[in-house]
Chains A and B, each alone.
Chain A
């Protein structure tokens, strides 16, 4: 069995060759062999039983049944409570699969022949003869096709095949509309700022100092004459992705409004976009004491007392602020749409912001 390999000049130790085969207990002891056989067969038998158990569980266990449930849901301290179905299906199926797998591998390791075999490798590269034969064939093919001698045919064909790329690209045009300015949201002058769950309008007196309210434009809760929501479905989601806001009340002396923003709040109540300027997560972690708002996705942190400036994290642009006022009935309303573009940056943002500034006459 051993193949003597010469000690090459660089090799300090000669290859001792394959070592003699080591017998397993099962190879030399008939009783051991039969015991192993029984062990493996019982694994397969048990697997069959588990699979039958799976079928029984499928037809007998109710979908609502829970196991390992502790505590009382009424007292709010419930925990655990696995689906009995899921537990029974998974353990029977998983157990059966494991037993089958372990049994087969036991069989291979303990009982199947375990003589090591040697196979020689051959260089991957083809022989020189094969290589030159292929080159000869390729040359014959090129010569007979005349692709080198007939540039007119060759080039016009290349042109035609290349032109096939055009329909392939053009066909993708209707994947979506061309991008339009993303500067506008549904906010407009006089629209009420309402609670995002109840849809109730907000009065300045409803807010205490330090309080934060998640809010939305009133249009999300308006219905038409037949009682259907004005904005719904995908339009609602798309509008929410830009128009969601937060309303916070701080002590007026803590706020340092930028030039031109002095009258954007009402008694220390300010309204900011809820959509992070980084990649658009809704921002919700409010630190009362520091007036910081932290985005839960990538930890961009904005100072709401200082015009929504970024004080930490990967966001670059300040959180856009929505100018607030109070309407005739004493409810908070928007003075205009956002003067700054909401949501994550996109390539045309600089252009769109410039246009927006020209429209509003602002210099934000």
Chain B
């Protein structure tokens, strides 16, 4: 224990000197009132709450390294002759954007490192956002009152992907130019207005001479500004709502238990920034990413085999590859469904369903309460199964986006892979849904089993008539409460049958809506197992406590059995 030599801040020499300026600030900004509320704000602790932090700190790293890169990058498509120090491209005509990217990579000390950190941070930013979103989805953290923050998050993810695409298109190398060519084809495929959008965005026919300056503006000003604003709103709402927490002893829907922001969370979150940055710096040092000098300048008549977008565009890419040919001519116009549907429609469906899900679920369950306790995925089997189905479809898309690489590496027939995935896109998610739902329900049963029959001690009793049975011990209160605390009681579905007309024969005007909702509700709760009742628990504890048939009574301090069969006692 450290000796108590603590001096209060206001009594310390520095504190005395600062008292004046701080008072001056408080007179004008009223800092103390805000500080009183927030300096010791409590945050609950769990490893999964760190995923969003990874995204936040990656974004900060992107801002820092991005500012460094802008000092040298020249977002111009003007043709220049390369005279830098990378010998294989010396004397070749290329855009100023590509030449300045080569300069950053070879002639600016630390430029390559910053470029690689920036690119790795972008991949991590999107990945962390997605994993964070899955955490929020599978634990039901988006439920009331956090639906708006969920939608802000969906917007952040969508913008983050656009931002990443704009960024990796800037160097104007062969790979990024091929990506832009794809986007050009995608824009053209938009019904009726495609050509207009193409000519307006590219300033004429592809590739034009203005797309890179425009993407640069979007990449360093427009989108980051919106991202910054949305991240600010996301964090403010997080503080305002107070963080959700896992159920446990003393943790209820009405309180939040954890460590104070000052000093513990300030140190943990602040320290974590250095860890994320350090990790990215090591990746930038050790793992090559996007070696643009190896691709050469953009040339619309060349392409490298195995051209791939950054991973988060893999879903779109995969869906475009899987789409069978489909193009129609209506009203003397060409409608290119085979590009438009998967390219624009795929992500459109994904983001729309993500944004709407909290409201759909709430409409189905009719639950209007506030939820601050996280739900274990197993306790919402249909939600979890839908999430698993979504992930499966996403992965099928990702695999399809790399079908040429897979065909090459595994020596498979690319047409066969494509056909399997074409069907798999619809079949695999259904399988994933069914399997996940059954697993969730089994886990619910297992929880009930543990609650009512106790945990397996490893102690084998021999009964007088020679039978053997394993002793079960009652679950500690804290563990039992953690299992039941946030688990919702199932609603009684039979009690609310929807009738076409009431007892007096008056037609129910909302019959169709109500009966559809009733069907959805049955689907949502189908198969779920309810948690034990108080009566079940009392009955079980009587059974467990009734040591009459056991020759040895396990004391309250019993802690299980060691590997050699000796009871461990604390």
Known: A281-B181, A282-B300, A344-B189. A15 touches B256 (CB 8 A): no
Contact: A234 with B77, CB < 8 Å?
A: yes
Q: With CB as the reference atom, state the residue of chain B lying closest to A87.
A: B285
List, in ascending order, chain A residues with CB within 8 A of B489's CB: 10
List, in ascending order, chain A residues with CB within 8 A of B307's CB: 281, 296-297
Contact: B534 with A118, CB < 8 Å?
A: no
List, in ascending order, chain A residues with CB within 8 A of B533's CB: 12
Inter-chain CA distance A347–B209, complex, in Å, is 23
Query: B119 within 8 Å of A by Cβ?
Result: no
Contact: A237 with B207, CB < 8 Å?
A: yes
Query: A157 within 8 Å of B by Cβ?
Result: no
List, in ascending order, chain A residues with CB within 8 A of B301's CB: 196, 214, 216, 240-241, 244, 274-275, 282
Contact: A279 with B85, CB < 8 Å?
A: no
Query: B325 within 8 Å of A by Cβ?
Result: yes
Q: With CB as the reference atom, state the residue of chain A lying closest to B339.
A: A279
Inter-chain CA distance A25–B149, complex, in Å, is 40
Inter-chain CA distance A285–B322, complex, in Å, is 19
Contact: B325 with A316, CB < 8 Å?
A: yes
Known: A117-B257, A299-B418, A350-B332. A11 touches B484 (CB 8 A): yes
From A106-114, A158-166, A321-329, the one touching the partner chain is A106-114
Contact: A176 with B199, CB < 8 Å?
A: yes
Contact: A179 with B198, CB < 8 Å?
A: yes
Q: With CB as the reference atom, state the residue of chain B lying closest to A352.
A: B334
List, in ascending order, chain B residues with CB within 8 A of A310's CB: 325
Inter-chain CA distance A201–B110, complex, in Å, is 46
List, in ascending order, chain B residues with CB within 8 A of A345's CB: 188-189, 327, 334, 336, 339
Inter-chain CA distance A15–B332, complex, in Å, is 71
List, in ascending order, chain B residues with CB within 8 A of A56's CB: none
In residues 199-218 of chain B, which contact A (Cβ within 8 Å)? 199-210
Query: A129 within 8 Å of B by Cβ?
Result: no
Known: A30-B1, A176-B203, A177-B199. A314 touches B323 (CB 8 A): yes
List, in ascending order, chain B residues with CB within 8 A of A336's CB: none
From A88-96, A144-152, A251-259, the one touching the partner chain is A88-96
Distance in Å from the Cβ of A31 to the closest Cβ of chain B?
11
What does the 1/0 interface line of B513-534 toward A look like (CB < 8 Å)? Answer: 0000000000000000001111
From B122-130, B227-235, B433-441, B475-483, the one touching the partner chain is B475-483
List, in ascending order, chain A residues with CB within 8 A of B271's CB: 100-105, 107-108
List, in ascending order, chain B residues with CB within 8 A of A2's CB: 250
Query: A119 within 8 Å of B by Cβ?
Result: yes
What does the 1/0 interface line of B267-300 toward A look like (CB < 8 Å)? Answer: 1101111111111111111100000000000111
Query: A170 within 8 Å of B by Cβ?
Result: no
Known: A12-B536, A244-B300. A314 touches B321 (CB 8 A): yes
Distance in Å from the Cβ of B39 to the closest Cβ of chain A?
12
Contact: A93 with B184, CB < 8 Å?
A: no
Inter-chain CA distance A172–B200, complex, in Å, is 8
Inter-chain CA distance A95–B278, complex, in Å, is 6
What does the 1/0 interface line of A32-50 toward B look like (CB < 8 Å)? Answer: 0100000000000000000
Distance in Å from the Cβ of B184 to the closest Cβ of chain A?
6
Contact: B257 with A296, CB < 8 Å?
A: no
Known: A89-B113, A90-B282, A241-B301. A348 touches B334 (CB 8 A): yes
Inter-chain CA distance A13–B271, complex, in Å, is 38
Distance in Å from the Cβ of A1 to the closest Cβ of chain B?
8
Distance in Å from the Cβ of A197 to the closest Cβ of chain B?
10
Query: B569 within 8 Å of A by Cβ?
Result: no
List, in ascending order, chain A residues with CB within 8 A of B242's CB: 119, 121
Query: A97 within 8 Å of B by Cβ?
Result: yes
Known: A121-B372, A282-B301, A284-B305. A346 touches B194 (CB 8 A): yes
From B23-31, B258-266, B353-361, B388-396, the one touching the partner chain is B258-266
In residues 281-332 of chain A, which contact B (Cβ within 8 Å)? 281-282, 284-285, 296-299, 310, 312-317
Inter-chain CA distance A241–B302, complex, in Å, is 10
Query: A116 within 8 Å of B by Cβ?
Result: yes
In residues 22-51 of chain B, which contact A (Cβ within 8 Å)? 40-42
Inter-chain CA distance A113–B480, complex, in Å, is 29
Known: A19-B478, A96-B278, A241-B301. A118 touches B250 (CB 8 A): yes
List, in ascending order, chain A residues with CB within 8 A of B112's CB: 83, 85-86
Contact: B299 with A12, CB < 8 Å?
A: no
Known: A179-B199, A240-B299. A98 touches B204 (CB 8 A): no
Query: A74 within 8 Å of B by Cβ?
Result: no
Inter-chain CA distance A179–B201, complex, in Å, is 11
Contact: A298 with B320, CB < 8 Å?
A: yes
In residues 3-39 of chain A, which contact B (Cβ within 8 Å)? 3, 5, 7, 9-19, 27-28, 30, 33
Query: B404 within 8 Å of A by Cβ?
Result: yes
Contact: A98 with B274, CB < 8 Å?
A: yes
Contact: A297 with B195, CB < 8 Å?
A: no
Inter-chain CA distance A117–B116, complex, in Å, is 42
List, in ascending order, chain B residues with CB within 8 A of A178's CB: 196, 199
Contact: B537 with A285, CB < 8 Å?
A: no
Contact: B263 with A279, CB < 8 Å?
A: no
Inter-chain CA distance A116–B208, complex, in Å, is 61
List, in ascending order, chain A residues with CB within 8 A of B191's CB: 347
List, in ascending order, chain B residues with CB within 8 A of A89's CB: 109-110, 113, 285
Query: A175 within 8 Å of B by Cβ?
Result: yes
Contact: B42 with A101, CB < 8 Å?
A: no
In residues 122-155 of chain A, which contact B (Cβ within 8 Å)? 123-124
Q: Report the 6 A-B pairs with minimum CB-CB distance, sorted nearest first.
A: A90-B285, A279-B185, A101-B274, A97-B278, A104-B271, A94-B281
- B binding-site residues for A, Cβ under 8 Å: 1-2, 40-42, 77, 79, 85, 106-107, 109-110, 112-113, 116-117, 145, 178, 181-182, 184-186, 188-196, 198-210, 240-242, 249-250, 252-260, 263-264, 267-268, 270-286, 298-307, 317, 320-327, 329, 332-336, 338-339, 342, 370, 372, 403-404, 414-415, 418, 451, 477-478, 480-481, 483-485, 489, 531-534, 536-537
Residue pairs across A and B with Cβ atoms less than 8 A apart, 28 shown, are A12-B451, A14-B477, A89-B110, A90-B286, A94-B278, A97-B275, A101-B273, A103-B271, A104-B268, A117-B257, A118-B257, A119-B42, A121-B253, A121-B254, A121-B256, A124-B370, A176-B204, A177-B203, A177-B204, A178-B196, A234-B79, A241-B206, A281-B181, A299-B414, A310-B325, A345-B327, A347-B195, A350-B333
